[in-house]
Structure 1
Amino acid sequence: MTTCTLDLYTDYLLSSTGPTTATGLSRLLDGEMSHDHITRWLSSADWSLAEVWRHAKPLIRQAEAQRPPTDFAVLVVDDSILEKAHTDANELICTHWDHSQQRYVKGLNFVSLLY
């Protein structure tokens, strides 16, 4: 049986053109890895900002070195939740996992991009 790894999971995320799920990765691997295994692996990881930077920094430095400083740009992506605990659920207001609070909250999930 194959074990889920950060490289495998990030390759799956980067190559996907639609929604990504543990079931989708399991299906892509022809059932060689169960979706339960992937979900347990995801649940066991608790990445600090320092750990994320340790993994991202070499890739960013490599990309910087391949272009002149005037041609290099960065796209910063941040998702946030505007909590709306007392608002009725609808197409925009629904339940989301809030990693900063380690719990589900009802609210509006939005993505900010900075180039």
Structure 2
Amino acid sequence: MDKILLALYADYLLSSFGQTTATGLSDVLDHTISHDKITRFLANTECNSRELWRLVKPTVRAITQQEGGVILDDTIAENAWTDENDLIT
């Protein structure tokens, strides 16, 4: 597993407020890593929740404060303007 690419991908997910894509990460990196390389990495890497949490836990702990916290939600909500697809039906 490419630990550097995994760290970049995790940072990208943590810092993004909208849709995340391999092309978007490549754009953020000024195309120093191609979106094809990112796509191949994601398709061929066994990155489970435990591995991702091990990677991002230090960052989450560093920014967590007594009066607040970090909430991650992977809920997909249907909107009136959203087309139906395999995820949203």
TM interval, shorter chain, is 0.5 to 0.7
- What do you get for the CA RMSD once the two structures are aligned? 3.3
List alignment gaps of at least 5 residues for structure 1.
82-89, 97-106, 109-115
Amino acid of the residue matched to residue 73 of structure 2? V
List alignment gaps of at least 5 residues for structure 2.
none
Distance 1:4 1:34, change over 3 A: farther
Higher relative contact order (CA 8 A, sep 6+): 2
TM-score (norm 1): 0.49
TM-score (norm 2): 0.59
Residue 30 of structure 2 corresponds to residue 30 of structure 1: yes
The structure in which a higher percent of residues are strand is 1
State, as a whole percentage, how many aligned pairs show the same letter. 42
Deviation at 1:92, TM superposition (A): 4.3
Give runs of ≥4 in structure 1 deviating > 6 Å: none
Q: Looking at CA atoms only, which structure, 1 or 2, has the larger radius of gyration? A: 1
User: Quick check: 1:4–1:38 contact (8 Å CA) kept in 2?
Assistant: no
